[in-house]
């Protein structure tokens, strides 16, 4: 499942995938794969992404469906 919440939060902070990747010490391809739903990140990476985007785990990674 695509992570549109992550993509929207990244765009709202005016960050490219590359910039977010650098903040989280991962590759741009990793961020792209997470946004596309092709990669399930570790909890540590989820936390790093949330810190970089000033969001909570629930806001970015919890699916209420």
Query: How many domains does one find in the chain?
Result: 1
Residue 15 lies in a domain: yes
Residue 32 lies in a domain: yes
CATH of the domain at 32: 1.10.260.40
Band of residue 62 on the pLDDT scale cut at 50, 70, 90: confident
Please tell me the distance from the alpha carbon of residue 31 to that of residue 22, in angstroms, as a whole number. Answer: 10
pLDDT reported for residue 63: 72
| 42 token code pair | 């570790």
**pLDDT tens-digit series, residues 7-47:** 999 999 999 999 999 999 999 999 999 999 999 999 999 99
Query: Over 80: is that where the pLDDT of 65 sits?
Result: no
pLDDT reported for residue 64: 57
Please tell me the distance from the alpha carbon of residue 65 to that of residue 45, in angstroms, as a whole number. Answer: 23
pLDDT reported for residue 1: 80
Q: Write out the residue range of the structural domain in which residue 14 sits.
A: 4-60
Other CB atoms within 10 A of residue 59 CB = 13
């Amino acid at each position: 499942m695509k992570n549109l919440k992550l993509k929207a939060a990244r765009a709202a902070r005016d960050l490219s995938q590359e910039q977010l990747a650098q903040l989280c010490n991962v590759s741009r391809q990793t961020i792209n794969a997470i946004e596309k739903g092709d990669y399930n990140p570790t909890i540590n990476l989820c936390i790093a992404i949330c810190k970089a985007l000033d969001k909570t785990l629930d806001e970015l990674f919890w699916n209420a469906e």
